[in-house]
Structure 1
Amino acid sequence: MAEDIEKKVITAKKASIELASVSTEIKNRALEAMADALDRERKAILEANVKDCEYAEELKKSGKLTQALVDRLKVNDSKIDGMIAGIRDVIKLEDPVGETLSALELDDGLILYQVSCPIGLIGVIFESRPDVVPQVMSLCLKSGNATIFKGGSEARESNRTIFDILVRAIESTEGMPQGAFQLIETREEVMDLLSLDAYIDLLIPRGSNEFVKFIQDNTRIPVLGHTSGICHYYVDEFADLETAWKVCFDAKVQYPAVCNAIETLLVNRNLAEAFLPKMAEMYLEAGVELRCDEDSYTLLAGKGLSSLAKATAEDWGLEYNDLILSVKIVDSIKEAIDHINTYGSHHSDGIITTSDERRKKFTGLVDSSSIMVNASTRFADGYRYGKGAEVGISTNKIHSRGPTGMEGLLIYKYVLMGKGHIVADYAGKDAKPFTHRKLDLKFGDVN
């Protein structure tokens, strides 16, 4: 088993070198072939997904799979449309490979270029969502990165079918290397994959808090990702009520099983009486379980609302991924910010306010990768951020942060162009000085 996975990884690593230099035109032709193939093979994808959904329901009954993961697994024609649209959006994006990031003259005729390039070989390990395969494959292809995919067993048929369709389309495109994209399927292969730091340059895990943390704790390969999505919305005392009701409802109810849905609602005490009762009614009618702190419980119970639960200390740090919401009344924006920075996961948090002063304070002091002002946290997504698709959402503070598209799959190299220059001329008693002058040049321009 270990030998098989290593062989696949080495094959992809070798192909990554060739893929890094494939032209934009060829890459875009391969992407168009991928989109056409998904459209053409809808029936095979849907049939494979039915098998996975049946298996997932059995796993859920035995307590081995959550409802959130079952929901993420399902594929229909609308989701296939989304996969196709995502690939075609990537076609429209500028090719980031070979972009000149800076040009610096060290001396006359000696110019240092900083040029963007692919990271190399990316390992993507994910749970449930089969749409991760076309999302990530399209971004990796456009950015010139080879990729190893490992999906969960609950989505095996869907992942295999979609992967095979896409790889056939890519490898039938003239000029594309063979073997740049590989799929592994068994749980045992994951530990083998995590040990191959000599070949794999970056890991991107997509899944639960426990899943991502396991990956981070068991590899020496750099990991791009977030362990949890504990997102908050703070309704300020200067909030517009109609905006607050609409945005806070969407941020929880529109799709609760994802990492950018809110898990805690914080409400300023001065607005709680006017805002919270109607908000609670909207949530309860939508089937949301409310876990309230003492003050919000007293307020809502006093308004005749039932089916309320009292929050425990553990609730503030939980990612529900379900129709469950913690509610807390706070005395000030400072208390809200402190709560978010203490219990949040630095993912996506928001404020409803009409005050510029409060907006600036909140956006300046909340330490999260995305901060929303009067807009739903559900916008924290690579596609919605105009990245074509996303490889994941990162709460790291190095390399890439927030919804991550192709920019998170790139690094850079330095290229020094000279004319027989030697260091000896710039050292010692009569050393020549460096000019260190910034230039408006593109790599490849005549030097």
Structure 2
Amino acid sequence: MSLTNALPVDAAKAAKSASHALATLPTSARNDALTAIHVALSQSKDEILAANARDLTAAKKAANDGNLSLSIVSRLDLGKKGKWEDMLKGILDVRELEDPVGKVTLRTRLDEGLELERVSCPIGVLLIIFEARPEVIANIASLAIKSGNAAILKGGKESTESFVAISKVISAALESTVVPNTAIQLVTTRDVIPQLLALDQYIDLVIPRGSNELVRYIKSSTKIPVLGHADGICAIYLEHTADPEMAVRVIVDSKTSYPAACNSVETLLVEQASLETLLPPLAEALLAKGVSLRCDASSKKALTAELSPHSSVILQDADECDFDTEHLSLTLAIKTVSTVTEAISHINIHGSHHTDAILTSSSPLAEQFMSSVDSAGVFWNTSTRMADGMRFGFGTEVGISTNKIHARGPVGLEGLMIYKYKIRGGGQITAEYGEGSGQRSFKHEKLPF
């Protein structure tokens, strides 16, 4: 990895050249690079966390002054419980995954001596633009190297100290490997995002990691394909046959384990038949965790009647905009619905197609929900926070995509691959084939691979 203040076009050209070399390296060489990165980061923990602490101090001041959101401050904290360990584990998990490069996914005998193969190959050059989240550098570096892709990273100013420290460590580690240093570049020049987004002749895919404002800006500002999601408006539908203890456990985890995450639940859809049974103990548990409940009229009426006087007075009235908002905080919007069909309709209209869940003991209802909700992740009786590349066994992820083409959901190695077609022949030409006299016909025989 190189820290560069080169002109964007020069950085992109260098990355394109490095991508061609990286794509041809053997599995062992790419795995050795990941081992070197893991060892170097492990040995530099104190130095990196000290740099991260400096970023946090500045970010908290900016948040107190109203110049930075608290969700960004939360995402910036690399010392948060388990975050450093997860980052390092992700590198090793990626290293141990099967090599995605050069996998044959189709073989066809077109004719005798004429065979077609479809083979997986890297996309090329990735541009990663991110806010906060300093662990993104290690995640992207490991996934890019393993998948044979070059990557250009541009981080936000709020995490400058952290990503410079991490980048220096990774750069030094790569010097001992055969991976080209320009295969992973961290651009430190300010205000170069518009220039990078214009380099579609060198950059093959943009992956934004940050606020919905950032993602929307990028999608509207480039001809390069963009992989990602703007919002994480995740919903859970609570059906009346759900196990009460399970419902409390799942919803509390979905909301409170990491409120600033894109897979945190933002909307709770409660079946009418659950208002007086399942909702009150759930509300008590959420309030005990400091969650602000923004209720529609029906849910507020039920909770006011069932909760203790002290608890009921802190319920809030929901506005319609609350059901279209990614709160990224300890805030949960609650809406009453009559049927699973109404819940599905609400999610498909108001959700962001990220991750949604149903809590029920009815298998038919669960299957109806999971088939009908148009989201990248649809879950039954589990937390929306399960939407994660590491939890899926992908090692780590470059992000979660709500796209309808290429990759969807948590994007790991497989999502960073495309394919090429290879034909091995013996001089055949198209004029030999056709319906006329003396012409040959294609066999199109499927072959094992």
Q: TM above 0.5, one fold?
A: yes
CA distance in 2, matches of 1:309, 1:82: 36
Q: Report if the CA contact (8 A) 2:236-2:357 is conserved.
A: yes
After TM superposition, the structure 1 = structure 2 runs for residues 240-389 of structure 1, keeping only pairs within 5 Å, are 240-303=243-306, 304=309, 305-389=312-396
| Residue number among 13, 16, 23 corresponding to 2:16 in the alignment | 13
Q: Match of 1:238?
A: 241
Aligned residue type for 1:225: G
2:100 is equivalent to residue 96 of structure 1: yes
CA distance in 2, matches of 1:271, 1:353: 11
CA distance in 1, matches of 2:319, 2:404: 31
Q: Match of 1:433?
A: 441
Aligned residue type for 1:17: H
Q: Match of 1:132?
A: 136
Q: Match of 1:444?
A: none
Q: Report if the CA contact (8 A) 1:171-1:178 is conserved.
A: yes
Q: Deviations over 1:342-372 (max 9, x none)?
A: 1000000000111111011101110010011
Q: Deviations over 1:318-340 (max 9, x none)?
A: 00000000001111111111111
Aligned length: 440
CA distance in 1, matches of 2:437, 2:65: 79
Residue 429 of structure 1: how far off its partner (Å): 3.5
Task: Describe the SS at the equivalent of 2:191.
Answer: helix
2:175 is equivalent to residue 171 of structure 1: yes
Q: Report if the CA contact (8 A) 1:268-1:330 is conserved.
A: yes
Q: Deviations over 1:287-340 (max 9, x none)?
A: 111100010111111223121110111111000000000001111111111111
Q: Deviations over 1:248-281 (max 9, x none)?
A: 1111011111000000001111122111111111
Structure 1 consecutive aligned stretches of length 4 or more whose deviation exceeds 6 Å: none
Q: Deviations over 1:408-441 (max 9, x none)?
A: 1100000000112121211443220100000014
| Greater mean alpha carbon deviation, residues 393-402 or residues 267-276 | 267-276
Task: Describe the SS at the equivalent of 2:98.
Answer: coil
CA distance in 1, matches of 2:251, 2:375: 18
Aligned residue type for 1:110: L
Q: Report if the CA contact (8 A) 2:109-2:447 is conserved.
A: yes
CA distance in 1, matches of 2:227, 2:137: 17
Q: Match of 2:165?
A: 161
CA distance in 1, matches of 2:61, 2:199: 34
Q: Report if the CA contact (8 A) 1:20-1:144 is conserved.
A: yes
Residue 80 of structure 1: how far off its partner (Å): 2.4
Q: Match of 1:147?
A: 151
2:71 is equivalent to residue 68 of structure 1: yes
Any gaps of 5 or more consecutive residues in structure 1? 442-447
Q: Match of 1:222?
A: 225
2:211 is equivalent to residue 211 of structure 1: no
CA distance in 1, matches of 2:176, 2:87: 20
Judging changes above 3 Å, is the alpha-carbon distance between structure 1 residues 78 and 267 closer, same or farther for their aligned structure 2 residues?
closer
Q: Report if the CA contact (8 A) 1:204-1:224 is conserved.
A: yes
Q: Report if the CA contact (8 A) 1:18-1:177 is conserved.
A: yes
Residue 115 of structure 1: how far off its partner (Å): 0.4
Judging changes above 3 Å, is the alpha-carbon distance between structure 1 residues 113 and 365 closer, same or farther for their aligned structure 2 residues?
same
Residue 2 of structure 1: how far off its partner (Å): 9.8
CA distance in 1, matches of 2:157, 2:300: 42
Q: Report if the CA contact (8 A) 1:38-1:80 is conserved.
A: no
Task: Describe the SS at the equivalent of 1:264.
Answer: strand
Residue 79 of structure 1: how far off its partner (Å): 2.5
